[in-house]
Each structure stands twice: as structure tokens, then as C-alpha cells.
Amino acid sequence: MIALAFALFAAAQSGGGAVPMDYTPTPWPDPERERDGAISKADPKARQTMALFADCVVDTSPVKVTDVLTRDFRTSEYRNGLRNLARANEGCGKRLGIRDETLRSSNLPFAAALAEAMMARNAAPLKIRIAKAASGKEAATFAPSDKVAMCVARSAPDDVAGLLATVPGSDAETTAANGLLPVARLCGPDLKLESSVAGLRSIIATATFRLLAAQES
């Protein structure tokens, strides 16, 4: 299984300063998506910190986030867009009190955190919004695992909303993700989908956001 370059390293020191980000471009094909969606487990604390950072980015740049997340993730425009969002919002780390740490993330988990933060901005119940979108406009998919994730979102809106409502790294998240695996297998009977809980949640979150965004285009 391809290892996910996603780790939070906390330094022993304390003090001010912006959060330094790792801007190393993710090569394409993106192994997290192209190799059957394989992705290793990410540290729960790192994922929760990423979620806080993404919330802040979305608060300051919602239009730019939507523009990036609805693009084809195979393109340099997409990868550069994510990198620019991180660079333009380094102050989020300072405001959140994330100091003297290095946040390393590949594209997929950062994009997924942004997608979840964007979906949370709408007060309407997510499961109702997904259910309505399931019978509406189709959204493009860009990889086999992405096609499966889009199918899962359309097929099980209640369960998808339940997964995205759980705390990253929690037992509830694992239970919700495991409950969606049979749906994923039905959506991709010819695809050997090997994914951790974090990976499955990530591809479902990004696909679900694009599905919802397609209804507003």
C-alpha cells in the first residue's frame, strides 16, 4: 500500500511564527488515487489539526477553495491551487495557535479537509443535500477510485453524511467507513479498492463536494 506523506511533527520549543508548509508538488499520476485509491492511515491528531487549518482557509477564501476543488485533480492548475491556498493562508496557523510545527500533507487529505469544511458552511442537513444532488446534475470524475466515491455519494447519502460527521480517527469513523465498504464494492465490482479509513473518507469527501457544487453551476 502506498504510504501517505501526511504527518504532523511537533517541536519542543514554543513561540510565534507562521506554520511552515511543505510545498513539494505531488507527482502525477497521484499514487493515492491511481493505485486503487490506496492510502495509509494518517495520525488522528494530524488529521484533526488539518481540519482546523482547513476551516480557517475556507473562512478566508471560500470562492478560491471552490474553484480549486472543482477542477480536475490531475492537472497542475489543481496542484498549484492547493499550494497557493496553503501559502496565502499561513496566518491561519498563527491564529489557531499552531506554532513551531511542520504540517506536511499530500494533496488528497488537504483537499478532503477543505471539502468537508466547505460542506459544513451550509446549515441544511448534509444528508438531505446529498440526496437531492444524487438525482440532479452529474459531476465529472477523474480516476477509477473517484468514480467509485461519486457512486457511493449518490447511492448512500445518509451513510456518507454520517461518515463525514464523525471525528477523524474515532471509533465512530471506523464504524461508518466500514459500513460503506459494501457500497463501494458494488460501485466498483472490477476495481480492487484498497484504502484505509482516512483514504476512503478523503475520496468520498472530495467527490461529494463536487457533486454538490455541480448542482449550483
The pLDDT of residue 20: 40
Average pLDDT in the chain:
80
What residue spans define the domains of the chain? 7-11+20-29+39-214
pLDDT for the residue 26: 39
Instruction: Say yes or no to pLDDT of 153 above 70.
Output: yes
pLDDT digits (tens, 9 = 90+) for 23-46: 333 344 455 555 544 455 567 888
- Across 139-152, b (16+ Cβ under 10 Å) vs e yields bebbbbbbbbbbbb
> What pTM does this model have?
0.82
Report phi then psi at 144, rounded to 5: -55, -45
Q: Work out the average pLDDT over 100-117.
A: 77
Q: What is the pLDDT of residue 189?
A: 85
pLDDT, greater one: 29 or 96: 96
Q: Cα(first)–Cα(last) distance of the chain, in Å?
A: 36
Place of cell 490531475: 74
Alpha carbon distance 93, 109 (integer Å): 17
How much is the pLDDT for 31?
56
Q: Report pLDDT digits (tens) over 55-90.
A: 999 999 999 999 999 999 999 999 999 989 988 888
pLDDT computed for residue 141 by the predictor: 94
The strand pairing partners of 101, in sequence order, are: 10
Is the pLDDT at 156 greater than 80? The verdict is: yes
Q: Where are the beta strands (DSSP E) in 4-66?
A: 7-10
Cis peptide before 29 (omega within 30 of 0): yes
